[in-house]
A and B are shown apart, each in its own frame.
Chain A
Amino acid sequence: MRTFSQYISDLLKGISSLLKGLGVTWKEFWTKKVTRQYPENRDTLVISERFRAELVMPHDENNEHACTACGICQMNCPNGTIRVVSKMIETEDGKKKKVLDKYIYDLGMCTFCNLCVISCPSHAIEFSNKFENATFTRDKLVHQLNHEGSKLREKKKVVKEDKE
């Protein structure tokens, strides 16, 4: 007789737990849907701040960047995405100086590991949120990150003047 009452109580317990499950899904049926309609919602689209879409080199209003062409990013890149081309120029006071000529970044090779950004000593590069990078040919994925005619931001100018 005990097993029979066990049977009945098991049955009722099973039914009640099934009904509870149905209740949960019933509530879910009426909740607000979370799907984002991508191409239409471009204006309101929210991309996480940390999302790594594309490597960029920020330039300020004087068309100056912070890259010293040290090449650490190039060395740290695990799959040869970055190529730093430098050139030697002569400064006004007659010193020879290595400056950035071209900063070539191949988006097609990049694994977005962020090692270049971490290792950069002068915070010259960062990942942007601009994720619509699709192109029709592969060579359009190769970007030059430093703008035309840009130059290194002179940080120590103030210090130098003090010394003189």
Chain B
Amino acid sequence: MTHYSQPLEFTGLTRWFDSALRSVMPDFWAIFIELVIVGIALLATYAVIAMILIYVERKITAFFQARIGPNRVGKYGIFQTVADVLKILIKEIIHVNKVDKFLFYAAPFFIIVASMLTFGAIPFGKGLQAVDFNIGVFYVTAVSSLGIIGVLLAGWSSNNKYSMIGAMRSGAQFVSYELSGGFALMTIVVLTGTMQLSGMVETQRYCWNLFNGHIASFVAFIIYLISGHAETNRGPFDLPEAESELTAGYHTEYSGLQFGFFYLAEYLNMFVIAAIAATVFLGGWMPIQIKGWDAFNQIMWYIPSYVWFFGKTGVLIFISLWVRWSFPRLRIDQLLNLEWKYLLPINLVNILLMVILVLSGLTLTQIF
């Protein structure tokens, strides 16, 4: 494998920083400082991505509705979300009387921590992954599904029928769609033979998983997008917070920063789903490369890996917004029909098909 020059990567910087720290202090303190810095960096990324996403969503939503969207605060309204965040930070948190106090205040943290934890395992770029688990896919799905506990706690502790119904709907929806989401990822685990996210990115160097397993991969990709979309409680699947029926669903009673946590987590979950889909199906941070075309590959490597990652994720987020503003909200029985009568059976057949494809050597990399 030839080595291409990668002028804009962070790998050199991080390696230099690590050796510099280790030269002046014992290993324990070096690692400790690195962990703190990585944690702060992840938190900062989390906040910045959320703000960018909120702005992008409002703009794209406006375009889909033939409007301009935010355009007053700064050029093209780019500081709109900054203003909104500042506003939500200084808002009063209203203390509701007849709630289960402990659970009520714990719920937003469950949600935000669940979406935060996944950030540790997502490969943002070459060498930009906090923890590279050998069971990365499993970890990400397990941790991101913790968020539902927060939703259920919020609905239960609010002592409010709208919140309760919203949380119950969300629970039913989440448990159902977690199944097909997990199966869709499992299909790709069968294809790549690894659960490690970095390994998955590496196997997609010349052929994305989406194309490698052709039919089976494509079906798994579509199913993952649908179920991921449903897990984020957005778009046509937003019946847990159906405004016309349930006021705001499970976060009806929340205000100020606590509501902000729910709001942030919703956007970040959208990002996490898109990031996992990009990593697992579309090659993650790996630039587009073609075997043997060294000059072309070198040009592709000049574009840094994090740009590739965020580009692919951005396309998927756009698709999710596009879907959100195209389709009407489902009824709860239609929602469960879609999962249990369509997605799950198709998924089970699909995973079998993928096993057959892999065993009989019919994937694209095995054929060519």
Mark each residue of chain A from 24 to 61: 1 if its CB lies under 8 Å from any CB of chain B, else 0.
Answer: 11101101111101000000000000000000000000
* B64: A residues at CB distance < 8 A: 25, 28-29
Q: Is the CB of A29 within 8 A of B68?
A: no
Q: Which of chain B's residues has its CB closest to A21's CB? A: B326
* A11 part of interface (Cβ distance < 8 Å): yes
* B293 part of interface (Cβ distance < 8 Å): no
Q: Is the CB of A22 within 8 A of B66?
A: no
Interface residues of A in 110-137 (CB under 8 A from B): none
Bin the interface of chain B by size. Answer: 10 to 19
* B296: A residues at CB distance < 8 A: none
* A28: B residues at CB distance < 8 A: 64-66
* B323 part of interface (Cβ distance < 8 Å): yes
Q: Is the CB of B327 within 8 A of A18?
A: yes
Q: Considering the chains assembled together, what is the distance between the CA atoms of A49 and B135 in angstroms? A: 69
Q: Considering the chains assembled together, what is the distance between the CA atoms of A11 and B226 in angstroms? A: 15
A90 to chain B, nearest CB (A): 61
Q: Is the CB of B68 within 8 A of A25?
A: no
Q: Considering the chains assembled together, what is the distance between the CA atoms of A28 and B323 in angstroms? A: 13
* B17 part of interface (Cβ distance < 8 Å): no
Residues of B within 8 A of A (CB): 60, 62-68, 71, 322-323, 325-327, 342
Q: Which of B66, B322, B323 counts the most A-chain CB atoms under 10 A from its CB? A: B66
* A22: B residues at CB distance < 8 A: 322-323, 326
B345 to chain A, nearest CB (A): 9
List 14 A–B pairs whose Cβ atoms lie within 8 Å, in order of A's numbering: A11-B342, A22-B323, A25-B64, A25-B322, A25-B325, A28-B65, A28-B66, A29-B64, A32-B66, A33-B62, A33-B66, A34-B66, A34-B67, A37-B68
Partner of B322, one of A11, A26, A31, A33: A26
* A-B CB proximity, top 9 nearest: A25-B326, A35-B68, A21-B326, A35-B67, A34-B66, A33-B68, A22-B326, A29-B63, A33-B66
* B60: A residues at CB distance < 8 A: 29
Q: Considering the chains assembled together, what is the distance between the CA atoms of A31 and B62 in angstroms? A: 11
* B63: A residues at CB distance < 8 A: 29, 33
Q: Is the CB of A33 within 8 A of B325?
A: no
Partner of A31, one of B66, B68, B323, B327: B66
A19 to chain B, nearest CB (A): 10
Q: Considering the chains assembled together, what is the distance between the CA atoms of A34 and B67 in angstroms? A: 6
Q: Considering the chains assembled together, what is the distance between the CA atoms of A31 and B64 in angstroms? A: 9
Q: Is the CB of A33 within 8 A of B326?
A: no
Q: Considering the chains assembled together, what is the distance between the CA atoms of A21 and B64 in angstroms? A: 12
* B327: A residues at CB distance < 8 A: 18, 21
* A21: B residues at CB distance < 8 A: 326-327
Q: Considering the chains assembled together, what is the distance between the CA atoms of A148 and B327 in angstroms? A: 61
Given A11-B342, A29-B63, A24 and B326 contact (CB-CB distance below 8 Å) = yes
Give 8 new A-B contacts, CB below 8 A, not counting A18-B327, A31-B66: A11-B342, A29-B322, A33-B62, A33-B67, A34-B66, A35-B62, A35-B68, A37-B71
